[in-house]
Structure 1
Amino acid sequence: MIELQQIKERIAAENYRDTNSCFDLRLMLMEAASLLTAKQISNLHQGRDPYVSMILLQAFRNLKQFYFVLEKAKEGNVECFNNIKDAVVAELANLMHRFKGNVYQLPEENISALKIAQ
């Protein structure tokens, strides 16, 4: 889920600059939705927990709804941009919190050893 964390951080750092900002945010939403879809398909093929698939699909649907709201908003609607951005960050944070028990954090000294091994 590191990829999802990186997307979430990029979305959180995104600020409204001009009308292209909405397009950029929609691209990031598509990237996150594609990642969720790939994770869900992988989960199904490996026969893992169906609850995980349900959570991933639910998050995908929410991102899809955010995408369409942003797409239908008038150009230059800063309030809509900020609301969608905040909602997406909250959705991704919630998703990552649900999977936090499945992620193992390595101490910093072990990470450097892994880099050397690569």
Structure 2
Amino acid sequence: MIDVQQIKERIAAEQYRDTNSCFELRMMLMDAASTLTTKHIANLRQGRDPHVSLVLLRAFRSVRQHYFDLEKAKEGDQECYNNTRDAVVMELANLCQQLKGNIIPLLVENPSELKIAQ
């Protein structure tokens, strides 16, 4: 989940500079799609929650669609760039929020127990 968060932050920080910006954003979207696919496959192989796999696949499909939308856009289409970037950031933020619900918090009564792990 941390890597999805990092990808989201990297995409959110990107700004349109020139016509190469669209290519760079597409590469980031490929990275995001690859990460989502890897997480989905790992989830299936480990026999974990099928709901998580479904959420990951939906996010993958959305990112893939945004990639194709950006690829079809005219060269230098800044509005499409901004819309795509914002939509993907929202998609990844929603994914992180949904996955947070699947994390079981560990309650530690004695904080010194955590120092052993450090």
TM-score, scaled relative to structure 1: 0.87
| Gapped regions of structure 1 (runs ≥ 5) | none
Please give the root-mean-square deviation of Cα atoms over the aligned residues, in Å.
2.3
- 1:41 alignment counterpart: 41
Count how many residue pairs are aligned between Structure 1 and Structure 2. 113
Moved over 6 A (4+): none
CA deviations on 1:49-99 (whole Å, 9 max, x unpaired) are: 111111111110000000000000000100000000000000000000001
Is 1:51 matched up with 2:51? yes
- 2:18 alignment counterpart: 18
| Gapped regions of structure 2 (runs ≥ 5) | none
Shift, 1:18, TM fit: 0.3
CA deviations on 1:17-66 (whole Å, 9 max, x unpaired) are: 00110011001100010000000000100111111111111110000000
SS at match of 1:92: helix
Shift, 1:100, TM fit: 1.0
- 1:85 alignment counterpart: 85
SS at match of 1:48: coil
Structure with greater proportional helix content: 1
Tell me the amino acid that sits aligned with residue 55 of structure 1. V
After superposition, where does 1:66-85 map in structure 2 within 5 Å?
66-85=66-85
Query: Larger radius of gyration, structure 1 or 2?
Result: 2
